[in-house]
Amino acid sequence: MGYAKSLLCSLIIIILICIWHSSFHHPSDNSITNITLLGDAHFLQEGRIGLTSYSSNSVGRAIYKYPIMFRNISSKSSASFTSKFTFTIIPNSIPSPPLFGDGLTFLITSNPNILGNGFGYMGLSNRSNQEEEMYIAVEFDTSFDPSLEDISDNHIGVHINSILSYPTVDLTPMGFDLKNTTRTTAWVDYKKFEKRLEVWLSYNDSRPIRPLLTTYMDFSVYIDELMYVGFSASNGKGGCSSKHLVDKWIFETYPSPFDSSISFHSTEEGSDLADGAGSTLWLLLETLICITIIRKMFVSHDQIVCADQTTSDALTDALVVATKNPTKKVDGKKIKARRDDKPRLPAAAPAPSNCYSEKEAEIIAFRIDQAKRVAEMTTSLSKRTTEHARDKFLGLLEKMPKHP
């Protein structure tokens, strides 16, 4: 009965866990269905986000569709955030040498439906009316446009509601090249208490000790209570075009009550497959834990066992006969037959309880084993020592320990 209850409860637990996994919305969500694509932005087969095509007038945005709380109006406080993403810029190989597009930005915007402009604008808007869009963007610029006050074709900078960036940092003297077509990892952190924004770049997954760009600003002045986060990119004139790809993205705001988290990975990184396998493994692990707990609840550690009453009774009878007459040969079959001749209870009547706990059964087995040894010893003695052996046996019975 205990096993039946544990099995039923285990099945119920499995069903509940499956429902929980299918319905619960984790704050950290890597589903590409939660990414809104604008313009030429698209998903590639391996799950990467392509912000542009090779068209020279291509422009695109990829925005997380749920708003993030960045500012608390009542407490006049704002959020800190950290963003880590991996991107690749691949130029159109038809021109020789290849001409790169404008570049891409990490974007925080108040309006998730505005596409922005190309031809040097990297998908940012050049609207003077901030009621349409407020934004803060960190640019990774691969084009040199003097009209936009670019310092080089290989620089990073910060945009605040303007296509002009300030401050900016030329990466060439620092030995970093955005146009080497290598997968690049960027970190963008803002700490509200210090009002400090920092940007790091690396060709691997290890964050360098020193940031490439550090600036101080109060974000709360330039953002709404709710903002959207994502990426933008564009291509320029004269055949300057690139594919701007985002492979992996992690974004978090803190502290409470601003806690939120976004996670996106392409299958090329191996993460979507790993996340799927991880979810399955977690489901199996949770199920096994629940089944173990249920079994512990319904099946006692000292599991109840029933001793074989017929065997124990036969051994007891054999012991009594051997004690009374040690020289007489005991016929176990006859003893069993005599016991079978005794009247039995009708089938409908409840059977007498002959069940012992595991400890009690162990003690009984020990006593029976000791008695058998003494009985075997008495049958091997001569008649002259029978009485002495019997007395010795009775003495052993008196001194026999109650526990093995």
Instruction: Check residue 180 and give its pLDDT.
Output: 92
Distance of CA 162 to CAs 79, 216, 223, 250, 401, Å?
22, 17, 14, 25, 94
Contact 126, 108 (CB under 8 A): no
Instruction: Check residue 277 and give its pLDDT.
Output: 40
pLDDT tens for each residue of the chain, 404 residues long: 555 555 565 666 666 655 544 433 333 445 678 999 999 999 998 889 999 999 888 999 999 999 999 988 777 788 999 999 999 999 987 767 788 999 999 999 999 999 988 888 999 987 654 557 899 999 999 999 998 999 999 999 999 999 999 999 999 999 999 999 999 999 999 999 999 999 999 999 999 999 999 999 998 889 899 999 999 999 986 668 899 999 999 999 998 878 888 887 766 544 433 344 444 455 556 666 656 665 655 544 444 344 444 444 544 444 444 444 544 454 555 544 555 555 554 444 444 445 667 767 777 777 777 667 656 655 555 555 556 656 666 666 666 655 54
Instruction: Check residue 22 and give its pLDDT.
Output: 42
| Residue with token string 């690139």 | 242
Dist. CA 14–CA 302, nearest whole Å: 27
Tokens of 308: 């074989």
35 forms bridges with which residues in the sheet?
A: 64
Dist. CA 268–CA 252, nearest whole Å: 23
Could you give the dihedral angle defined by the CA atoms of residues 90, 95, 98 and 102, in that order, rounded to the nearest 10 degrees?
Answer: -70
Contacts of 178 (CB under 8 A, 6+ apart): 89, 103, 140, 141, 142, 154, 171, 184
Contacts of 148 (CB under 8 A, 6+ apart): 120, 163, 164
Instruction: Check residue 196 and give its pLDDT.
Output: 97
Instruction: Check residue 26 and give its pLDDT.
Output: 37
Full DSSP string of 269-335? GTHHHHHHHHHHHHHHHHHHHHHHHHHHHHS-SS--EE--HHHHHHHHHHHHHHHH-TTSPP-HHHH
